[in-house]
Amino acid sequence: MKSLVIAALTSVTVLAVSCQEEFPLTPEQRIEQLAKSHLIFGNAPGISVGTFQNGQRRYYNYGSRSATANEPVNERTIYEIASVSKTFTAYLVADLSLQGRLSLDDSANKFLPPALRLPSKEGTPILIKHLLNHTSGLKRDIDFTGLPQTDYTEAQLADYLKTSTLNFVPGSEFSYSNLGFDVLASIAQIVAGKSYEAQLEERMLRPMKMAATYATDALPSSDNTATGYLGKKKIAHYKHTSVSTGAGAVKSNVDDLLTYVEFAMNSTPSETSQVFDLVQRPTFTIRSGTEIGLSWIKSGKNLYFHNGGFPGYSSVIIFDQAKKTAVVLLANGGPINTTQTAFDILKLLE
C-alpha cells in the first residue's frame, strides 16, 4: 500500500510539473500560489500583498480578517506590523539628527534620565547609532517572567537597567535588540518634547499622507482590522506603554506601506529624501553581502528590507532601490516566514 501511495504521489507530481511546463504560470498566478501557501498550511487566516513596479501598484489579497467569519482582507485592512515599526522609529531619530538636535555619535545616556542610564562595557558607552544598528550589546528583550514585552512601565525598565549587563562591547557585534529600539523611542520623545505618536503624525504620517497608519492603542474607527492568530488561538491587538513603543507599536495597511516605501525609494523627490538616504546608509557589516543602516538591512548592492513578527502577525517590506521595485506583505498569523515569500515575489517582478 505504501508503494502505491508513493507511486500515486509521484504521478501527481510529474503531472503537475508537466502541466506547468506546458502551461506556465503567469507572474500573477505565481504570486497567488506563493501567498496562498500560508493559508493552505494554516499559518494565517488572511494575507495581503502589495507590489510596486514601473510606477504602478498591484494588490493581491487572500483569506479573511477573522478565522471565524467571512470578512475578506483587502489592501486597506489594518494589521500589526510588529518590528517593521523599527524603521519608523529610525526615521524619527534620523530626522532629529538632521535637525541638529542630536548626533548619531552621541552617547545615549546624554539624553536619558539617571534612572534609565544604559550600562557600558570596557569603558565603551552605547551610542545612538549602536541602538539603531543593533550593535549596542543590549539583550534582545527585557526578561521579566510572564510580562508581555509591550507592557512594561518606566519604573520596571529602570529596575531592569540597574542590574543589566551588555553582551559585548558596543559597536563590535550585531545582535538584534527590541529593547534598544524602545530606548530610542524614549530618547526621541525626550529630545523632541513630544510623544512618539505626535512625532509620527507630524514628521511622517501627514507629510507622506499615510492616513490609515497609527501607533496608539485605540483601534481605528473602521472595522477593517485583522484579528491576529497564533495557530487557532485568537490574539488581541497589543498595548504599549510610553517606554515600549519604539520596537513594534505601529499598525498599518498595505496601501499606506506602499506609499511609505515609495518615499523610501525616493520615487518622488521630497523633503523626506535626505532622511531616507541617512537611514539606508550602511553603518555595520553583519556578514559578507549583508549590511545594516539605521534599522534597514541591506542585502547585496540594492536590496533593502525589514520584517516583523508578533504572536498573531507577520510583516515584511522589501525593495530594490535601483529598480524602484517593492513588495509589502502582511498576514494575521504567526510569526511566520513571510520574508522568503516576499523575496520570491520580488524575483518574479524582476
CB contact at 8 A, 305 and 339: yes
Long-range contacts: 54-57, Cβ < 8 Å, 24+?
A: 55/267, 55/324, 57/258
Contacts of 177 (CB under 8 A, 6+ apart): 131, 134, 136, 138, 139, 140, 141
- pLDDT, one tens digit per residue, over 66-76 is 998 889 999 99
Q: How many CA atoms does the CB half-sphere of 306 hold within 13 Å?
A: 25
Q: Evaluate if residue 3 carries a pLDDT over 70.
A: no
pLDDT band at 148 (very low <50, low <70, confident <90, very high): low
Q: Evaluate if residue 199 carries a pLDDT over 50.
A: yes
Q: How far is CA 172 from CA 121, 262, 279, 285, in A?
A: 11, 33, 20, 10
What pLDDT sits at residue 237? 80
What pLDDT sits at residue 69? 85
Residue 123: alpha-carbon gap to chain centroid: 33
Q: Is 7 strand, coil or helix?
A: helix
Q: Evaluate if residue 13 carries a pLDDT over 60.
A: no
Give the span between the Cα atoms of 82 and 308, in whole angstroms. Answer: 5
What pLDDT sits at residue 1? 42
The domain locations on the chain are 35-349
Q: How far is CA 124 from CA 102, 130, 171, 181, in A?
A: 19, 11, 9, 19
Give the span between the Cα atoms of 176 and 184, in whole angstroms. Answer: 14
Q: What is the pTM assigned to this prediction?
A: 0.90
- pLDDT, one tens digit per residue, over 275-297 is 999 999 999 999 999 999 999 99
Which run of H or of E encompasses 253?
none
pLDDT band at 16 (very low <50, low <70, confident <90, very high): very low
- CATH fold of 35-349 reads Beta-lactamase (3.40.710)
CB contact at 8 A, 194 and 185: no
What are 234's three cell numbers? 485568537
- pLDDT, one tens digit per residue, over 116-146 is 999 999 999 999 999 999 999 999 988 755 5
Q: Which residues of 74-108 are buried (b: 16+ CB within 10 A; e: fewer)?
A: ebebbbbbbbbbbbbbbbbbbbbbeeeebebebbb
Q: Evaluate if residue 18 carries a pLDDT over 60.
A: no
Averaged confidence pLDDT in the chain = 89
- pLDDT, one tens digit per residue, over 294-344 is 999 999 999 999 999 989 999 999 999 999 999 999 999 988 889 999 999
Least confident of 81-85, 158-162, 166-170: 158-162
Work out the angle between the directed axes of helices 338-349 and 27-40 (0-180°, nearest 10).
Answer: 170
pLDDT band at 234 (very low <50, low <70, confident <90, very high): very high
Torsion from C-alpha of 217, 219, 224, 227, nearest 10 degrees: 50
- pLDDT, one tens digit per residue, over 206-225 is 999 999 999 976 555 568 99
Q: Which residues of 259-298 are buried (b: 16+ CB within 10 A; e: fewer)?
A: bbbbbbbbeeeeebeebbebbbeebbebeeeebbbbbbbb
What pLDDT sits at residue 267? 56
Strands 233-235 and 290-292: unpaired
